[in-house]
Structure 1
Amino acid sequence: MSPRRPNRLARNLKIMRNQSGTYYYYKMPDGKLESLGKNIPESVAIDAATALNIALTDQESLVNRIARRAEELRNYNPSNPPMSQVLDEYSHMLHVALENEKQAKNTVSIKLSKLEEYMGIWSKIRVQDMRTFDLNNLLKTKTPHAQQKHVPLMRDIFRYAITSGYCDINPADQLKAKEPEARIRHRHTFDSYMQIYKISPDWLKRAMDIALYSLQRRSDLVEIQIAKDIDIQSCSIKILQRKTRNYKTPVHINIKMGGPLWSAVSDAITSPTHCPYLIHCRPARMDRRDIAAKPHPFAILPDYLTKQFKKWRDKSGVYDHLQSNERPSFHDIRALGIMLYFKAGYPKEYIMALAGHATEDMTNHYIDGHEQTQPLQVAAGLDISTIDMSNINWKDQRIPRELAKLIDDEES
């Protein structure tokens, strides 16, 4: 099938033809293709695309934009600029911090997305006219967890405005974020994990075991390449954790695999589905968009891994007594693994290093005399056959504070 643009009026309309018929799609602003129908009159598709173009585009005329800009310039006061200028300048500061490796890429990206939201609400308000009331009205629309992120950012924006001489008072100083609500999702128990494991397809079983024993996040697991990252001779895996790649000192570990982890990895390497990625499967169906989004047709994307685990988790019925949003996810296998390592008697420093949260003393091993980064050597030696599961109280969450923080760590 080959797309073409049939008409200037039908901007963003894509037509694809094959033996089964003619398919019409509309390209959304985020790049996704939304179906308009199959074998419909082309004029109908053009009308639909034209209507969507109007609905999704700012239709303000050029004359109105020029007039509005002229009015803004007449009223411009350099000592009391509009919030649009303050937010633009603060955004530039974030980009500079990213370039100088003073802030992580993911952190900057999250802040920039919030700045875009602020720009849409406050851009025309002069900075000295901003009130705590205005900020609090936005906070009311956010969950307590989100408020914990917005309040520090708001305070920092107005600190910048004060140091730039634009205002004397920080309206965000009086804000108070609500305490985050108690965790909704429950944790896996080992028995529940095994019930899901028993009915899962082989590729998912391997992914579950690799996650359980290695303690790595979903986003890192799906990127492991057999030839590049696995040393069969030494039974080890190299991981450069995605969440830390833009840190000044990224977390780069080399995991020595114990028997159970190596068994899962070995099964993946020798699976009949040939793929350069360790975690892989042959999907029942594939379309062009799926293939284009993946580095290999049989590779697994993080969202697909989550959705497939959810599918087989719910098929097992093990969490039928819980609401859908209370049921533990694939990411929570990492928390189960941390708990199992702890219950098996492994030191917290061992567990933290394996999970990618080494102590300061341990990170000293990252650097050699020429400041060349070297992976931290860790081991994944857990063997659940050595643990008496009947003696574990899964409701007892009393573990060292550092490990509790790891367990509550969300996916990047």
Structure 2
Amino acid sequence: MAPRPRNPGSKDLPPNLYRKTDKRNGVTYYTYRDPVSNRMFGLGSDKAKAIAEAVAANMALQVVPPTLSARMAPEPAVTDRKFSDWVVEYRQILLDRELSESSMRNLHMRLNRLEKAFGERGIRSLTTMDIAENLSALVKEGKAQMARVMRSLLRDLFMEAMARGWVDTNPVEATRAARVKVKRQRLTLELWKAIYEEAAQPWLKRAMELALITGQRREDIASFVFKDEVDGFLQVVQSKTGTRLRISTSVTLECIGLSLGEVIRRCRDRVLSKHLVHHHRTISRAKAGTTVMLDTISKEFAAARDRAAEKLGLDLGANPPTFHEQRSLAARLHDQQGRDAQQLLGHRSAKMTDLYRDARGAEWIDVA
């Protein structure tokens, strides 16, 4: 019987060698199928090396055909190394990706959690059921978002393990991502203005103005320095993604009657500081002119928010809007003025920007 014609995409490969491209990172991996036992062997992502090994394996099959007794012999045991040993290798792979400090810190914390769950297990022994049960436990604890994040990490971890030959399959592929119901309330312009009035610290007002006009994250706002203003633009390198933005200082939000240039000028006060958002006087260990800690920004915003809600008679529920919700409000306000919210927020996909544009029922919809 004539052999089945090969897939057009594999015509440049020798017999029994197959390729598969990971849609997430675009990397192509190669596997060799033993035509005698039908076992699959991962050969990594190096095409030339995979072809050389496949050609050598095919020649060996032709020179020394396996006998019936050899084919009936039990398969040799495959060394199953500990999951924790692979995590050591995987941490080095993450370092080579040159991720931000905050991203690496979060990844290491999640890997510590995985080591606690699977560390002593053989990595080849882990099944889809093992992974599914671990993720399901997180969902039952009310941590659906964490379950999604851990699934993504596990999927990448096993994909890299396949590329290095530690495993032959990825048990995470067959699992389903947990459904996440967003609980945090959106921030309305009315509430923002009330919080702004309740802001006890001058630096909090400046931080809120910058958040609404630039649409940037808390970490980036706290790191803004005056020298970031160059030739009429505020230059931003987002700490989370590395995205580089140049926001014109003429950008204005009509609803608050301020431009970015005006806010930057407001940040210059009698205190000598290189930071836009800085302490205007020394309090305890926080010296005048130094940058404001991220936790301090969040706590002061939350305190002003609670005072504003009480004055307005609002019940913000168990998940009131945080400082980060100004990013969503900024996307909606700039969108109303005809600006490209995706460019402003530095998102790579319009789908992500659409999530920020969604008011989740917090605002009225005007029908003319």
How far apart in 2 are the matches of 1:343 and 1:120? 48
Q: Distance in 2 between matches of 1:319 and 1:274?
A: 40
Quote the offset at 1:309 in angstroms. Answer: 0.8
Rounded to whole Å, the distance in 2 between the matches of 1:358 and 1:132 is: 31
Residue type of the alignment partner of 1:276: K
The CA deviation at 1:319 is: 6.7
Which residue identity is paired with 2:152? P
**TM-score, with length taken from structure 1:** 0.58
Bigger-Rg structure (1/2): 2
CA contact (8 A) 1:255 1:354 kept: no
In structure 2, stretches of 5+ residues that fail to align are 1-76, 253-257, 359-368
Query: In 2, Cα distance between the equivalents of 1:191 and 1:78?
Result: 64
In structure 2, C-alpha distance between the alignment counterparts of 1:268 and 1:104, rounded to whole Å: 27
**For residues 199 and 313 of structure 1, what CA distance do their matches in structure 2 show?**
8
Matched, 1:280 2:270: no
CA contact (8 A) 1:79 1:165 kept: no
- 2:193 aligned partner, one-letter code: M
CA deviations on 1:322-381 (whole Å, 9 max, x unpaired) are 22x42112211121122112223x143xx322322478xxxxxxxxxxxxxxxxxxxxxx
Q: Do 2:271 and 2:289's aligned partners in 1 also have CA atoms closer than 8 Å? A: no
Q: CA deviation at 1:157?
A: 3.0
Relative distance call for 1:180 and 1:166 in structure 2 (3 A) is same
| Equivalent AA in structure 1 for residue 194 of structure 2 | Q
Matched, 1:337 2:330: yes
Structure-2 residue corresponding to 1:139: 135
Q: Work out which of the residue numbers 214, 227, 242 in structure 1 matches 2:239.
A: 242
- For the structure 1 residues 263 and 302, does the alpha-carbon distance in structure 2 shift closer, same or farther, using more than 3 Å as the test? same
Change (3 A) 1:257 1:301: farther
Question: Deviation per CA, 1:181-211, whole angstroms, max 9, x where unpaired?
Answer: 2x21211221111112223233322221221
Match of 1:314 in 2: 306
Map 1:152-191 → 2, pairs under 5 A: 152-181=152-181, 183-191=182-190
2:137 alignment partner, SS class: coil
Number of the residue aligned with 1:34: none
Distance 1:280 1:121, change over 3 A: same
- What are the within-5 Å matches in structure 2 for residues 3-402 of structure 1? 79-98=79-98, 106-142=102-138, 143-181=143-181, 183-201=182-200, 202-226=202-226, 228-231=227-230, 235-245=232-242, 250-258=243-251, 260-261=258-259, 262-269=261-268, 271-282=269-280, 285-287=283-285, 298-316=290-308, 317=310, 318=312, 320-323=314-317, 325-344=318-337, 346-348=338-340, 351-357=341-347, 401=351
For residues 139 and 177 of structure 1, the distance between their equivalents in structure 2, rounded to whole angstroms, comes to 9
CA distance 1:78–1:90, shift in 2 (3 Å): farther
**Distance in 1 of aligned mates of 2:267 and 2:118:** 52
- Distance apart, 1:255 and its partner CA: 2.6
Q: AA paired with 2:315?
A: H
Deviation for aligned residue 1:311: 0.7
Residue identity in the other structure for 1:257? S
CA distance in 2, matches of 1:278, 1:140: 44
Do the aligned residues in 2 keep the contact of 1:84 with 1:122 (CA within 8 Å)?
yes
Residue 310 of structure 1, CA deviation: 0.7
Q: Which amino acid aligns with 2:343?
A: A
For 2:189 and 2:352, the matched residues in 1 are separated by 22
What is the aligned length?
Answer: 269
Residue identity (%) = 22
Query: Does the aligned pair in 1 maintain the 2:212–2:326 contact within 8 Å?
Result: yes
The letter for the 1-side match of 2:353 is L
Please give the TM-score of this superposition, normalised by the length of structure 2.
0.64
Partner SS, residue 192 of structure 1:
helix
Alpha-carbon distance between aligned partners in 1 of 2:250 and 2:234, rounded to the nearest angstrom: 8
Q: Distance in 2 between matches of 1:163 and 1:178?
A: 26
Distance 1:331 1:160 in 2: 33
1:401/1:127 CA distance change after superposition, 3 Å: closer
Q: Secondary structure at the match of 2:326?
A: helix
Q: Distance in 2 between matches of 1:347 and 1:254?
A: 12
Provide closer, same or farther for how the CA distance between residues 203 and 84 of structure 1 changes in structure 2, counting only shifts above 3 A.
closer
Residues 285, 258 of structure 1: CA spacing in aligned structure 2 closer, same or farther, 3 A cutoff? same
- What residue is the counterpart of 1:368 in the other structure? none
Shift of 1:407: 4.5
RMSD across aligned C-alpha pairs, in angstroms?
2.9
* SS of equivalent residue, structure 1 residue 253: strand
CA contact (8 A) 1:334 1:407 kept: no
CA distance in 1, matches of 2:290, 2:103: 31
Q: Which residue of 2 aligns with 1:64?
A: none
- Equivalent pair of 1:283/1:298 in contact (CA under 8 Å): no
Mapped to 1, the partners of 2:352 and 2:153 lie a distance apart of 26
Q: 1:319 to 1:97 in 2, by over 3 A?
A: farther
